[in-house]
A and B are shown apart, each in its own frame.
Chain A
């Protein structure tokens, strides 16, 4: 066993664990580790990185809603921007506090509002049906490469207003960004290596002349025209669409398909009632949360969950563990598409709660309902293969057979 530097807890009363939440072992199957952290306390210390961790639902929710004590402007990854240089220019919404955050969020929330979703719904639905029809003809598919990557890469960049070519670059970008919230481990370094060649392509996509007039991206520039944000901020906010809008929904959909294929009786319920598509996607997010974790930084020394946290400490909130906390959920390890898991943490909570959640729900609902209407059964034809990511719960491939009605 490799010896690692051990960081002592600040106080002997603090439950201290030797868990490394970014090891291959943890990321492959986090659930036993989640349970160990939840049972150790509301707030625990992880010696591997010298960070706090919170895995219970009540503590995760309380921490994420306390944006004044647990700030985002010092980074929502392991790095502390107060003492370390950020890996990339910080996001104006994710890695920001009010008032900057409020300004960015107001613009993005309007562009991605439920009302805006009503306007794109029909187009998204047509695309879902076209894709499922094609996959039914194909029969044997990889539900990642042929479905969960394809659908979000079609509808979301279309709505943002990107051209068709080279969109798969967005997957490399998202993969890198979400890995960068962890340590500089082998998973991160490999992701950076794959991303480097497309860096310039990504940044160029954020320019106004590259974006279809009227699309989500162009609407950000319209907000700059109206003086709500500056012209320097506009491309940075388009960048947020590109980093946060694809790999998240790709895995939300992939994880839902994995859960449904692993629970044929739940898929049968969905087939009998395709109107369960939306709650089924929601339960998929609870059961296998696409975004597993986010960090915050302690603004000033504070007591939280009865423990003393020091200024500049980092704290890791486990969304995926909160979503399986038996204190919050009855039978948390049971996947039940009729559960209606209101209050799950998969989109975060509070002022930084996912601003694109209406888009994510729309995509998830439409693809699952299109699938249920055409396909009687989904069966694995091979072993699911994981793609390890420091933040995301992701698959590399999900070999499946679609058996039509």
Chain B
């Protein structure tokens, strides 16, 4: 992982304050809860504890325990309850403490929430947000470190958000709450402490399905998601020193997917590395690489390459775990090799 990244290439607009990644999510939740009384948040230790990551600290004091709701340790139970509440007039936010626990909840997400609108011929809506975390290098071992955003991305009927900056996290979370479909929102755990950024003091919403060019470049495109955006930006800075101009494109949502922005970038640069912290096999990175390959084939100098988590259960020991996550150095070396410089 990079050293603390303090800013991104996102245009600052009227930015007047710098906040952390977790602060951005909390502000988005608070703003949406003030705006809409049907928004509630359910999860394990979300109230006084403010989650195990302390990201929601202060919300229960403002909104009370009837809207910031501590649940039993029953991910299936409270996610299923959230689906039913979403169908009947609420806009619940369900907090899955560790994204790994999505495996417990997949029936409620994949068989229920995702399909209800379609199966009912468009008659029932499920406006639920499922918050989950992702990302390794916290020495949390194999059941608390995975990046499973490919799982919901595979299912029609779901939308999936993988923000990389406080600016994006806040604006996209607000869009997720207002969306009439189930949205799975992935927050990189390392970003809570390491990523800060500028956000406008004025209210803003970022539509789902619009990619963002985090850095302009001409020689190679990094298509990077979530935690890997900071890694790609770090690699791009290193590449600049050896005369290679790298562009960094952040899809921000895996679905809906802004294919056009990805393809146009690669048509311009003719080279592409996809960086994603999920596993590489049958993955988000595989899909993004395929989209680029199909859309920019005749402009490519060579195959699209992927940098992903190693295909192993995430190990505990720091020396082992650090070997599983793509680094700036790996991205730098691969880009130089592809550019023959």
Task: Check if A and B associate.
Answer: no
Q: Which residues of A contact B (CB under 8 A)?
A: none
